[in-house]
């Protein structure tokens, strides 16, 4: 098994065959979030950028992609958000509890057989419709879980000076994306271990420790490869897991501090 790589010039695609996707947008958060409170809202995705909640930009990118036909939103909304979603679920307090709730909402609405689900956090407002399309187009078909990653050089080229958490392996230095693709029928199978892995997603050494001493040693000595990591995660989750190397820095650039908010405001257009 080899890792996939997004290539907008040479797409291979589920969407080429007319596949329509469902999406879960994670718009919840800690009601005590100081960053959100400082901007006068309860949760981060409602922080305004050019007068619109941050989540609006994410939802418009999904809708504008032309391949996302149904959106379940988890978390508090505004009237502007409600227009862009199909169903809303109450915030359950944690990322994976919200993921479960969103997938359950889509399942009740009637997912198609073999349909996979795109899961997106509502705090990546610089993501574009074209980038959504490209990620879905290039997503490998033989995996129950697909996690996009972005090379550090692509992040720094797109957003000079941006501060992200990176991990270096033999293939390069990467930051994790803020979306992933999963087979919803397998969620109960891999959720407990995925919960543990996602909790460590911004702590590379902790992540390596969870997935074994051999991986940890390879990580420290820079011998770890994307393929070896994929194989180990697949073993842990008992489902094929793949990394998707994408050049789209916006997917790896979430907004969690004022400097990120200023960056997003600089790169996003003021609504007409």
**For the structural domain made of 21-267, what CATH number should be given?**
3.90.550.10
State the Cα–Cα distance between residues 143 and 47, nearest whole angstrom: 34
CA distance 243 to 198: 14
pLDDT at 2: 39
Per-residue tens of pLDDT for the chain, all 272 residues: 335 555 444 333 444 445 679 999 999 988 789 999 999 999 999 999 999 999 999 999 999 999 999 999 999 999 999 999 999 999 998 888 899 999 999 999 888 877 889 999 999 999 999 999 999 999 998 899 999 999 999 999 999 989 999 999 999 999 999 999 998 888 877 777 777 777 776 677 777 777 777 877 787 778 889 999 899 888 888 889 999 999 999 999 999 999 999 999 999 987 65
Token reading at 57: 């930009």
CB burial class (10 A; 0-12, 13-18, 19+) of residue 219?
buried
Residues 96 and 46: their CA atoms lie apart, in Å, by 20
| Helix, strand, coil % in the chain, rounded to nearest 5 | 45, 20, 40
Q: Are 77 and 88 in contact (CB under 8 A)?
A: yes
The answer, as to whether pTM is greater than 0.85, is yes
pLDDT at residue number 6: 53
Q: Which residue, chain included where needed, has tokens 């800690």?
A: 30
CA separation for the pair 258, 68 (Å, rounded): 30
CB-neighbour burial class of residue 185 (10 A; exposed 0-12, middle 13-18, buried 19+): middle
Buried b (16+ CB within 10 A) or exposed e, 78-94: eeebeebbeebbebbee
For 9, phi then psi, to 5°, come to -85, -15
Name residue 146's beta-bridge partners: 181, 242
The pLDDT assigned to 9 comes to 40
Place of tokens 């469902």: 22
- What is residue 201's predicted lDDT score, i.e. its pLDDT? 66
pLDDT attached to residue 212? 79
Q: Spell out the domain ranges in the chain.
A: 21-267
Could you give the maximum distance between any two Cα atoms of the chain, in Å?
A: 54
Rounded to whole angstroms, the Cα distance separating 237 from 186 reads 10
> What is the pLDDT, as a whole number, of residue 10?
39
Alpha-carbon distance 133 to 22, whole Å?
13
**What are the φ and ψ backbone dihedral angles of 44, each rounded to 5 degrees?**
-55, -45
The total of other beta-carbon atoms located within 10 Å of residue 203's CB is: 13
Nearest to 132 by CA among 115, 119, 151: 119
């Amino acid at each position: 098994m080899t890792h996939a790589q997004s290539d907008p010039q040479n797409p291979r695609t589920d969407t080429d065959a007319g596949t329509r996707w469902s999406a879960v947008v994670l718009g919840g958060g800690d009601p005590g979030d100081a960053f959100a409170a400082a901007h006068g809202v309860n949760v981060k995705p409602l922080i305004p950028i050019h007068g619109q909640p941050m989540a609006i930009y994410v939802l418009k990118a999904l809708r504008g992609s032309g391949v996302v036909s149904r959106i379940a939103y988890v978390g508090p909304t505004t009237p502007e958000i409600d227009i862009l979603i199909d169903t809303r679920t109450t915030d359950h307090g944690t990322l994976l509890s919200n993921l479960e709730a969103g997938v359950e909402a889509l399942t009740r609405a009637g997912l198609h057989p073999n349909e996979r689900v795109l899961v997106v956090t509502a705090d990546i407002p610089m993501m574009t419709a074209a980038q959504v399309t490209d990620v879905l187009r290039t997503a490998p078909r033989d995996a129950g879980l697909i996690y996009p990653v972005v090379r550090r050089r692509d992040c720094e080229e797109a957003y000079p000076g941006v501060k992200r958490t990176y991990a270096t392996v033999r293939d390069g230095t990467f930051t994790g994306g803020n979306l992933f693709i999963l087979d919803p029928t397998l969620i109960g199978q891999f959720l407990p271990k995925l919960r543990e892995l996602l909790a460590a997603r911004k702590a590379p050494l902790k992540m390596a420790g969870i997935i074994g001493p051999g991986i940890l040693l390879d990580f420290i000595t820079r011998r770890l490869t994307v393929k070896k990591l994929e194989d180990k995660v697949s073993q842990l989750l008992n489902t094929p897991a793949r990394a998707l190397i994408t050049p789209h820095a916006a997917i790896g650039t979430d907004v969690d501090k004022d400097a990120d908010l200023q960056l997003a405001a600089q790169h996003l257009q003021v609504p007409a």
